[in-house]
């Protein structure tokens, strides 16, 4: 695990979906996004990036308010506007600036511990988070113990 500061994440031509999803709906939404990209004739240039804004506990289990961001190979703003799909947006540019980045390699089960270390790092240095954590997969492993993922949290650049 490695933590760096003053990192940036910039992506062009991003297909975005934001909505409230349980685990089953999340898997269905990922398939829907894949189907939409095929229909529009675009290809992902990086695995999907996710961020969770909040979690509600319901009688059917947790429901996440989350965003899925997929950088794609071309502008689909017109096609997406014509499709009028609720929750979907096209972002010509996505920029996460002045972020703290944790680089995690290894078992998916130990990821939560790494994330705690990231937030401890932020707290100890009196940094002020201004974004949620963005989960940026660097691979799509067959085995969860081979996971490589970056977690980025934007922090306030002002020193008070």
**E strand or H helix at 124:** helix 111-124
Nearest to 53 by CA among 138, 123, 134, 126: 134
- pTM equals 0.90
Angle, CA 149 vertex, CA 52 and CA 76 arms, to 5° = 65
Average pLDDT, integer, range 13-17: 97
Q: Which structural domain, as residue segments, surrounds residue 56?
A: 12-92
- 29 located within any domain: yes
Q: What is the mean pLDDT of residues 2-14?
A: 96
- Do 122 and 102 share a structural domain? yes
At 143, is the pLDDT very low, low, confident or very high (cuts 50, 70, 90)?
Answer: confident
Computed over every residue of the chain, the mean pLDDT equals 93
pLDDT of residue 140: 77
Rounded mean pLDDT of 110-121? 92
Does one domain contain both 118 and 148? yes
Both 87 and 103 in one domain: the answer is no
Q: 100 and 87 share a domain?
A: no
Query: Is 160 inside any structural domain?
Result: no
Domain count, the chain: 2
Q: pLDDT: is 75 or 106 the higher one?
A: 75
Does residue 56 surpass a pLDDT of 90?
yes
State whether 52 and 64 are in the same domain: yes
Q: What's the CATH code of the domain at 84?
A: 3.30.70
**Shared-domain flag, residues 16 and 88:** yes
User: Considering 51, 67, 92, which residue would you say is the last residue of a domain?
Assistant: 92
Instruction: Based on the fold, state whether residues 87 and 136 are members of the same structural domain.
Output: no
| Predicted local confidence at residue 159, as pLDDT | 67
| DSSP assignment letter at 157 | -
Same structural domain, 100 and 86 = no
User: Are residues 26 and 57 both part of a single domain?
Assistant: yes
pLDDT at 128 > cutoff 80:
yes
Are 21 and 64 spatial neighbours (Cβ–Cβ below 8 Å)?
yes
The answer on pLDDT for 145 being more than 90 is no
**Interatomic CA distance for residues 25 and 121, integer angstroms:** 33
């Amino acid at each position: 695990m490695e933590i760096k500061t003053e990192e940036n994440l910039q992506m062009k031509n991003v297909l975005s979906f934001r909505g409230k999803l349980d685990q089953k709906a999340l898997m269905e939404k990922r398939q829907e996004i894949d189907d939409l990209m095929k229909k529009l004739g675009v290809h992902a240039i990086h695995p999907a990036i996710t961020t969770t804004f909040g979690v509600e506990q319901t009688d059917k289990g947790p429901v996440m308010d989350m965003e899925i961001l997929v950088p794609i190979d071309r502008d689909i703003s017109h096609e997406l506007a014509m499709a009028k799909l609720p929750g979907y947006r096209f972002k010509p540019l996505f920029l996460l600036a002045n972020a703290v980045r944790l680089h995690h390699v290894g078992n998916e089960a130990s990821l939560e511990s790494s994330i705690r270390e990231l937030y401890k790092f932020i707290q100890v240095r009196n940094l002020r988070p201004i974004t949620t954590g963005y989960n940026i997969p660097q691979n799509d492993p067959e085995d969860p113990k081979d996971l490589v993922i970056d977690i980025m949290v934007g922090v306030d650049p002002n020193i008070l």
